[in-house]
């Protein structure tokens, strides 16, 4: 299960010593013929090729995900002031 994984971006996971968040394009995540997804991996030890947690987001859901993340950010910023 899971085809070619192309890492698009990696950045530090806040409030950890070595943690990383990795954004990847994953081909055939559920076997031959399955549609590609964006994979979001979280590694507490900084190993971007073997995340502790991951989420697969279909490309068709990216706009809604981005809108939801923006709302979460705005709420956090309002509560922090």
Question: Residue 49 and residue 37: Cα distance in Å, rounded?
Answer: 16
Q: How many residues does the chain have?
A: 81
Confidence label for 49 from pLDDT (cuts 50, 70 and 90): confident
Domain boundaries, the chain: 5-80
The residue behind tokens 């943690």 is: 19
pTM (two decimals): 0.87
Confidence label for 48 from pLDDT (cuts 50, 70 and 90): confident
**54-60 mean pLDDT:** 97
Taking 70 as the threshold, does the pLDDT of residue 61 lie above it? Answer: yes
């Amino acid at each position: 299960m899971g085809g070619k994984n192309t890492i698009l971006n990696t950045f530090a996971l806040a409030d950890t010593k070595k943690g990383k968040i990795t954004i990847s394009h994953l081909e055939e995540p559920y076997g031959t013929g399955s549609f590609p997804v964006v994979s979001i991996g979280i590694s507490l030890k900084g190993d971007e090729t073997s995340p502790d947690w991951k989420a697969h987001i279909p490309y068709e859901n990216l706009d809604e995900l981005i809108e939801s993340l923006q709302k979460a950010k705005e709420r956090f910023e309002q509560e922090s002031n």
